[in-house]
Structure 1
Amino acid sequence: MLAVGVYVVALAARRGYPFGAGPRAGTVLAEQVVPLHAHLWDLLHGRGGGDLLVNWNSGYGVPFLPDLVTDLLNPFSLLVLLVPREQVALAVFLGTLLSIGLGTALMTVFLGRLAPGPGWLRALLATGYGLCAWVLVEGVGRPAWLWGLVSLPLVGLAFDRCLRRTGWPLGAVAVALAWVGNFYTAAAATLGAALVLVLRLLVDRRPAGERLRSLGRALAMTATGVAAAAPVLWVTFEAGRTAVPAAVPHPGTPGLTDYLARLLPGTPAGSGLPEVFTGVPVLLLVAALPFNRAVPVRERLVWPLALALVAIAFVWRPSQLLWHVATAPQGDPYRSTFVLAGLLTMAAWVGLAHRPGPLALGCGAALLAGPAALAGARGSTPLTWVLLGAGVPVLVGALWALASTGAGRRRAAATVLGCAVLLGSGAAAYAALGPRDREPDDPTAATTAALPVPVQAVLPAPEPAAEQAAAARRLLRSAEDWPAARADPGPTALTGNDPMLLGGQGGGYRSDYLPLATAQALHSLGAGWLLQGRQTLSAADPVGQALLAVGSSLQPGPTVRRSPAAPLVTVRPPGAPTPPSGAPVWARQQALLGAAVYQVPVLVPGAGPAPTDHGRSGWSLPTTPAGEAGTELTAGCAPGRLAYLYAPYLNGRLSWPGGVLTVRGEQNATALPILPLGPVPADGVVRVTVHVELATQVPASPFGCLDPAALAQAVQGLRAGGARSVRAGGHTVSAELPPGSTGSAVLAVPAVPGWRCGVDGGPSAPAGSVQGLLAVPLGPGASRIGCTFEQPGLAPGLWVSAAAVGGWLLVTVGSWWRRRERAAAPPGPAGLNPPAGRAAGPDVRRC
């Protein structure tokens, strides 16, 4: 628990959560992790919108299993059961502590398998592993990744069983547990543990045949464990294929001095480089290892060579893919750096277990001084030199005294060594938890810029109090009428995943597995998106909300606004027109609505720099010269109608008689939703002035003028001809239609792969799509439809897992039977059986 204690003290000194404000807005922790745990809390308490397969709260209905297996299968996620819903962030924090503690404890045990030595010494070195810079900078922000901290020593212990011939069935369970907990980091952990196994086999003095059999056992064990986790792998693979493509960072190979600087304590976090620092004791002992003559020559050669190769592999593009299962890492190109931290810790223990003498320690200190001086100018801080200048001499003296024969000197050395490790780790942790040089993008700020002025008024402070979230949640619960209608939290008020955090059934959804079909469907109906489409926003205009069955939505105040909406399932008559490719958003909405509710005027340039007309491709707006107001866009509409602007990639400052708004649209990155401009004035002219900093664009028909009465009449028609009743289960939807309905039943749910539908109890078939929404052909006439979601990849993954478990059972039962037969066999001649209590396998602790 040393690592946990040091982390808590450093976090408290920094006034981090839970000792200060909540998780910082804009981070993955606040935007994704906490809302996902809130949704898990709802599911475990039977209050969730959906089940393990479908999340009805977000994105107007999206798959949930990919998010579950990626971010919520760390066993400590179940701590949400122990806290009230308002305190799920506390459960996430406790899970972080337990992951750090378990990873450190397992590393302590594994170090004992590498070489014998006192447990307290192993615990001190393992503390550096549990508090390595990767944990403090990257891991605590993505608690699921912290399972990698556990997986590395866990898989290492499993491989150790193969070396000792103690049976691999239990090791296969350990491998499966690692891969199920988080397959991203488990892949890297397995590769790192396999490298350690190869190193141990290289220095092992057993015959080559025995070593090859150990390697074969490890391969069979790993294959069985990974195959048992096949549902996780297959589901995420299929979900990734159909998700919005991510922008993958491709950092250049860092310079040697920049890389070496990441080994030093106290360097600023968030530099865009691998976070490698694992503690001053580890650095000193690794530097001293080649000079420690008590260590066999072969080990002194292979460990430094392996560390150098792994360090290079993390920054060389082809080998970097190897650490990420041959796929480009998303979000963090150095997600696997904890493996290098673990290998450094292991190499340090190999040296410490052989008690380095003064010559080795002195040479190690000298070797460490060179890179430190070389890299010192690359982001070092005063704390860097304090920890190195004071820590290294103290550690050299303590480690030298530890090897002495006097009991008193050894006790004093142990005390000094323990205090030095704890104080140094605490200071380094305090520095790593401080402000970052490279803060992550704040999607909340981008979202605010993308929202209409009336909706921005609902936004609370950047770090909202729990009372605000609770109040919004109570309002939404009072308005819920699912599945008759949706209660939408509206455009982002607190996080990108407000529907999971606050409840309701909205379009807001941020995920690494956001289906491309969802993003495209909502975008085509005028909703916005962020993060290259990996975060969708709720529909903010009346027509979009009506089409998506939004009967109530969160508004400024906050209050709830109720509005007439189409039912979740409507009937589209045969031969209904389909808008042509490239049609404006107004035409796409009207085609689904089945009625003309917009007046779509022709854009007429007004005062200011003249825009360029590109026909159906739209208009280019030039940069506004200094001192000018901007380019004026005008259009004529009937007075009294409600004017709207749709220019998803517009970048500039808008001003019109009703208000001012700065927007930051960007092609394929940030798409603005439909923006309300207010009633058309008495002169019938809609005017918007755009002040442009960089040349931007608007569609060919950016203005739409809505007739609210026509919309109400159209919605009434959809309700009259739509479903009489709708039932939504965990991952099913069924509806009773007017008898003899023909055409297509359209569900206000994005048509993501996996939906299968049937008519009147008949066989199911893959669902169709109408403008990105689920559609079911009704044939000559139908009165009932039923749809079920089947997660792509789950069924084949379960078959592979079942086969692996079957094979594992056969091996386990066979091993048990052989042991039983040996126990029942008469004793052999004296001296041929191993002594009682001693394993028949070789002692490989020093291998």
Structure 2
Amino acid sequence: MTDSPPAPAGRRPSRLYGPLLAFLITSGAFCAAWVARGTFPFGDTGRAVNDQANQYVPFHRALWDLVHGQAAGDLLFTWRGGFGQQFLSDYYTYLGNPFSWLAVLVPRAHVDLAVFALTPVTMGTAAALMTVYLGKLQPGPWWQRGVLGACYGLCGWALSDASYIPMWLWGLVALPLLGIAVEWCLEGRRWPGAALFVALAWYGNFYTAMMATMAACVLLGIRLATRDMTGPERLRALWRASTAAVTGVLLTLPLLLPSFLSSGAAQPTKAAAFDPVRLDVFLAGMLPATHLWGGRPRLYVASLGLILAGSFVFNTAIARKTRLVWAAATLLVAASFQFPPTQYLWHGLAVPNGNPYREAFVFSGMVVILAWLALANRPRPLHLALTAGLLVAATFALRHTDDFGGWTWPAVLGGGAVSLLALLLLSLAGKHRALVPVAAVLMVGVVFAESTAAAANADARRARERWAQPAVTSNQSITDHFEAVRGVDGWPAFRTDSGAPQTSYNDALALRAEGPQYYSSYLPQATYQALEPLGYGYKNDGRTFFGADNPVLDALFSIGARVRPGAAPNSWTASRLPAPPLVTVRSQPFTSPNPAASVYARQENALGATVYQVPRVTRGGTATEQAYGARCTPGSEAYWYSPALYGTAISASTRHRLEDRMTGVLKLGPVPASGRVDVTVRTKSRGHAPDHPIGCLDRTKLDAQIAHLTATGATSVRAGGHTIEAALPRGATGTAVFAMTDIPGWHCSAPLRGFHGLVAMDIPSDGGTLSCTFTPKGLTPGLAAATLALLALASAAARSLATALRRRRRA
């Protein structure tokens, strides 16, 4: 196989036809599926699935704020969410797809629509690049490459697994991008371009780029084995490829290294061991238009690609060695998905958390490559018919597999028949040229129609799963909520909590608030260890935190405004709260006299004063209807905390929803004149409330402590992008406490000391101004490595340019 010869100067624009066709088929089919289902923006059905609503839309809104100068923070750090968290790793992970920057070009109210558009744009780009890569493997008609490029862009992994995950979709782009880089290394040219392509692949998303890079190693091995090269040429190609890969990865190290270290410092999760699916389920995932439930493999491409790929091994126009190597490599890649050690290797030596087949696009890409090599070498009609028959037989044999897809038979029989007809017409085009446009229309049409049905089917079936219920990301209520938060903004004099109910797990980012709400794979263990003991609710093993309407916590974290639902439907009202500044002073250590194991005592220890009455609780009832009773001072405010219970808490004729650890400290209401606090919990969980679930707050004492902290705290606070500076009253002594968690990366003007998980330091004798700066761990060495890589890249580019100029002068 050889590379395509250079096109004459007058025909160079034709090089764009194939990629453009692939882009239009891919993005058009995906959008057509939206139209068919009446999905937003083509209907009222919600579009945002799972983390698309909870992470990707809020993070893109945060990017919009950052670019437009309206963020509380910068690229390194955000003050919005989690009471201040690193942002660089989140940017790299959730916003690395270069098309994410499209979100900053639209009005903020339409950022969610831009996020949805990332999917067809990225898939279309992947299809276009695959079209280019196929042409480098074997020359052939641009429209045929474009159709098969679209088969790749519309593979099962893209439609069923990653269609709502913009950063993962960049892996779909990375595979052909790295394939092109491999071909340049084999040709002995464009080394700087190859290194930049590696960097671009890793810039978009390191997780799927790692999988694409492993796939590129497979492609390199195949090409070294099948290409006509001498031994020294192979060694030089291997050297160019390895150095380009290292240089490209080093260019991304300012993002990659801090993210790696942030991951190590993140709150750990309980990932299950890899359990391969049954062989019949695995094979069913290769059938066109099949969406399997849950974490099952989605390996299919359109029937046209499957029929052509199946005919590859029969095509005698292709050298036997080439057929053997490509077919064996493709089978080994598929087998590696089922073998735990190699599966861990695909996932970076980590247990996959969620769908364990996240590298499935690699197999689909290799199937499309086989399809193109077969098509470019004119497969025989008999071989095509045989392959189509085998596809029907396989579908029949797998028809009883768990959740066998309802659209599989139409795709196999209908799409397969049209695909076979188009290929047969194409085989006759040598004698009847008029058949070429007919075959072209049929091939484009069948891929478009079959993929549209597959995408709509994947959306419809996925929406039936509880975790994937589409969520609303823009409406009048969300707009009013946003405006209510903006109306009481006081940062950095105080924080604003966006309140509950939440629209997303990252409401603080989405609504420009500064509360505890935050959801990130990088949420530090230090934040979990600081917030969980204080009574904040959490989820995802502690990587998602929720707010708590509790005045003691508000005082601890300088929350001076809160937004709550209004009386009218979908309305929101904001209220100001008394709050000390972000930096306060504790003159001496404090230990609560209340039971040390209670959440209320832990809050008091951090606050520095006794403000709760924690009574002895009587227990009764049954396992499903538990009764709790206590006595408190009349007029105080009763609070409840039971992180092991899921159900309903009933107190004084009011009902409160309990969602175990997601529900933090909960306000029950004022203690009546009788002093009796009774709580009935209706639950199906086996847990019970802790020993001291009830605490009664004395607001007078709390107000006095807030006034004291305000009087002795910072006289002014200035917060920069990733810095904070506080001026203390003259003569202040003791410990300065910053209302932010002590996460890795803080460097302050005085040595830090432990204080209930918050940033704190002893006040120097000269008092004055204290300051802290946040620098992500790994950023400095990452920048140094990237600088060296950039110098190497610039040197190679300059050398290449000088060589080209000398050749031109000689010519």
**TM-score, with length taken from structure 2:** 0.93
Q: 1:251, CA displacement in angstroms?
A: 4.5
User: 1:394 and 1:470, CA in 2 relative to 1: closer, same or farther beyond 3 A?
Assistant: closer
> Does 799-808 or 109-118 show the bigger shift?
799-808
Say if 1:279 and 1:424, in contact at 8 Å, map to a contact too: yes
Say whether 1:816 aligns with 2:807. Answer: no
Residue in structure 1 matched with residue 30 of structure 2 by the alignment: 7
Residue in structure 2 matched with residue 754 of structure 1 by the alignment: 745
> Does 186-195 or 348-357 show the bigger shift?
186-195
User: 1:723 and 1:166, CA in 2 relative to 1: closer, same or farther beyond 3 A?
Assistant: same
Counterpart Cα distance in 1 of 2:366 and 2:311: 15
- Give the letter for the 1:701 counterpart: H
Counterpart Cα distance in 1 of 2:356 and 2:415: 31
After superposition, the C-alpha distances for 1:495-554 in whole angstroms (9 at most, x for unaligned) are 111111111211101111111111221212211111211110123211111111001101
Residue in structure 1 matched with residue 455 of structure 2 by the alignment: 429
User: 1:550 and 1:277, CA in 2 relative to 1: closer, same or farther beyond 3 A?
Assistant: same
Identify the match of residue 490 of structure 1 among 496, 499, 505.
499
Counterpart Cα distance in 1 of 2:442 and 2:608: 80
- Give the letter for the 1:705 counterpart: C
Q: 1:577, CA displacement in angstroms?
A: 4.1
Residue in structure 2 matched with residue 508 of structure 1 by the alignment: 517
Please give the secondary structure, in 2, of the residue aligned with 1:780. Answer: coil
Residue in structure 1 matched with residue 605 of structure 2 by the alignment: 591
Q: Percent identity?
A: 40
After superposition, the C-alpha distances for 1:440-459 in whole angstroms (9 at most, x for unaligned) are 63799xxxxxxxxxxxxxxx
- Give the letter for the 1:786 counterpart: S
Q: What is the correspondence of 1:250-289 to structure 2 with a 5 Å cutoff?
A: 250-289=273-312
Residue in structure 2 matched with residue 787 of structure 1 by the alignment: 772
Counterpart Cα distance in 1 of 2:61 and 2:547: 19
User: 1:640 and 1:29, CA in 2 relative to 1: closer, same or farther beyond 3 A?
Assistant: same
Residue in structure 1 matched with residue 724 of structure 2 by the alignment: 733
Gapped runs of 5+ residues in structure 1?
Answer: 445-461, 610-622, 625-629, 760-764, 828-847
Residue in structure 2 matched with residue 520 of structure 1 by the alignment: 529
Residue in structure 1 matched with residue 787 of structure 2 by the alignment: 802
Counterpart Cα distance in 1 of 2:669 and 2:421: 76
- Give the letter for the 2:777 counterpart: P
Say if 1:270 and 1:436, in contact at 8 Å, map to a contact too: yes
Gapped runs of 5+ residues in structure 2?
Answer: 1-23, 567-571
Q: 1:28, CA displacement in angstroms?
A: 0.7
Identify the match of residue 687 of structure 1 among 633, 657, 678.
678
Say if 2:649 and 2:679, in contact at 8 Å, map to a contact too: yes
* Aligned structure 1 segments of 4 or more residues deviating by more than 6 angstroms: 578-581
Residue in structure 2 matched with residue 572 of structure 1 by the alignment: 586
After superposition, the C-alpha distances for 1:750-784 in whole angstroms (9 at most, x for unaligned) are 1111111115xxxxx5x333101110211334121
Please give the secondary structure, in 1, of the residue aligned with 2:532. Answer: helix
> Does 162-171 or 28-37 show the bigger shift?
162-171
Say whether 1:134 aligns with 2:157. Answer: yes
Say if 2:617 and 2:691, in contact at 8 Å, map to a contact too: yes
Residue in structure 1 matched with residue 190 of structure 2 by the alignment: 167
Identify the match of residue 490 of structure 2 among 474, 481, 487.
481
Counterpart Cα distance in 2 of 1:710 and 1:204: 81
Residue in structure 1 matched with residue 9 of structure 2 by the alignment: none
Identify the match of residue 651 of structure 2 among 649, 653, 656.
656
User: 1:604 and 1:309, CA in 2 relative to 1: closer, same or farther beyond 3 A?
Assistant: same
User: 1:24 and 1:96, CA in 2 relative to 1: closer, same or farther beyond 3 A?
Assistant: closer
Residue in structure 1 matched with residue 80 of structure 2 by the alignment: 57
Counterpart Cα distance in 1 of 2:39 and 2:341: 38
Say whether 1:416 aligns with 2:442. Answer: yes
After superposition, the C-alpha distances for 1:254-298 in whole angstroms (9 at most, x for unaligned) are 112111111112323444211111110111111111111111111
> Does 236-245 or 24-33 show the bigger shift?
24-33
Residue in structure 1 matched with residue 632 of structure 2 by the alignment: 637
Say whether 1:600 aligns with 2:624. Answer: no
Please give the secondary structure, in 1, of the residue aligned with 2:467. Answer: coil
- Give the letter for the 2:442 counterpart: V
Please give the secondary structure, in 1, of the residue aligned with 2:729. Answer: strand
Q: What is the correspondence of 1:445-460 to structure 2 with a 5 Å cutoff?
A: none
After superposition, the C-alpha distances for 1:156-198 in whole angstroms (9 at most, x for unaligned) are 1011101111231111011101101111111111111221121
Please give the secondary structure, in 2, of the residue aligned with 1:331. Answer: coil
Q: 1:24, CA displacement in angstroms?
A: 4.5
Say if 1:282 and 1:345, in contact at 8 Å, map to a contact too: yes
Say whether 1:561 aligns with 2:587. Answer: no
User: 1:468 and 1:49, CA in 2 relative to 1: closer, same or farther beyond 3 A?
Assistant: same
Q: 1:573, CA displacement in angstroms?
A: 1.0
Say whether 1:529 aligns with 2:522. Answer: no
Q: 1:381, CA displacement in angstroms?
A: 4.1
- Give the letter for the 1:471 counterpart: D
Say if 1:492 and 1:498, in contact at 8 Å, map to a contact too: no
Please give the secondary structure, in 1, of the residue aligned with 2:734. Answer: strand
Say whether 1:700 aligns with 2:691. Answer: yes
Counterpart Cα distance in 2 of 1:254 and 1:672: 35
Q: 1:796, CA displacement in angstroms?
A: 1.2
Counterpart Cα distance in 2 of 1:218 and 1:155: 10
Please give the secondary structure, in 2, of the residue aligned with 1:740. Answer: coil
Please give the secondary structure, in 1, of the residue aligned with 2:203. Answer: helix
Counterpart Cα distance in 2 of 1:784 and 1:49: 21
Q: What is the correspondence of 1:274-353 to structure 2 with a 5 Å cutoff?
A: 274-353=297-376
User: 1:519 and 1:76, CA in 2 relative to 1: closer, same or farther beyond 3 A?
Assistant: same
User: 1:440 and 1:132, CA in 2 relative to 1: closer, same or farther beyond 3 A?
Assistant: farther
Residue in structure 1 matched with residue 11 of structure 2 by the alignment: none
Residue in structure 2 matched with residue 186 of structure 1 by the alignment: 209
User: 1:420 and 1:593, CA in 2 relative to 1: closer, same or farther beyond 3 A?
Assistant: closer
Residue in structure 2 matched with residue 76 of structure 1 by the alignment: 99
Residue in structure 2 matched with residue 398 of structure 1 by the alignment: 422
Residue in structure 1 matched with residue 6 of structure 2 by the alignment: none
Q: Give the total of aligned pairs.
A: 780
Say if 1:154 and 1:174, in contact at 8 Å, map to a contact too: yes
Counterpart Cα distance in 1 of 2:484 and 2:539: 26
After superposition, the C-alpha distances for 1:192-241 in whole angstroms (9 at most, x for unaligned) are 12211211111112222212221221111111111111122211111101
> Does 586-595 or 46-55 show the bigger shift?
586-595
Say whether 1:230 aligns with 2:230. Answer: no
Please give the secondary structure, in 1, of the residue aligned with 2:333. Answer: helix
User: 1:807 and 1:265, CA in 2 relative to 1: closer, same or farther beyond 3 A?
Assistant: same
Say if 1:235 and 1:792, in contact at 8 Å, map to a contact too: yes
Counterpart Cα distance in 2 of 1:26 and 1:546: 35
Say if 1:161 and 1:171, in contact at 8 Å, map to a contact too: yes
- Give the letter for the 2:773 counterpart: T
Counterpart Cα distance in 1 of 2:365 and 2:219: 10
User: 1:206 and 1:463, CA in 2 relative to 1: closer, same or farther beyond 3 A?
Assistant: closer
Counterpart Cα distance in 1 of 2:552 and 2:231: 74
- Give the letter for the 1:778 counterpart: I
Counterpart Cα distance in 1 of 2:461 and 2:739: 44
- Give the letter for the 1:506 counterpart: G
Say if 1:27 and 1:442, in contact at 8 Å, map to a contact too: yes
Say if 1:83 and 1:91, in contact at 8 Å, map to a contact too: yes
Counterpart Cα distance in 1 of 2:377 and 2:595: 73
- Give the letter for the 2:682 counterpart: H
> Does 673-682 or 386-395 show the bigger shift?
386-395
Residue in structure 1 matched with residue 10 of structure 2 by the alignment: none
Q: 1:473, CA displacement in angstroms?
A: 1.2
Counterpart Cα distance in 1 of 2:469 and 2:721: 30
Say if 1:86 and 1:466, in contact at 8 Å, map to a contact too: no
RMSD in angstroms over aligned alpha carbons?
Answer: 2.0
Residue in structure 2 matched with residue 452 of structure 1 by the alignment: none
User: 1:440 and 1:817, CA in 2 relative to 1: closer, same or farther beyond 3 A?
Assistant: farther
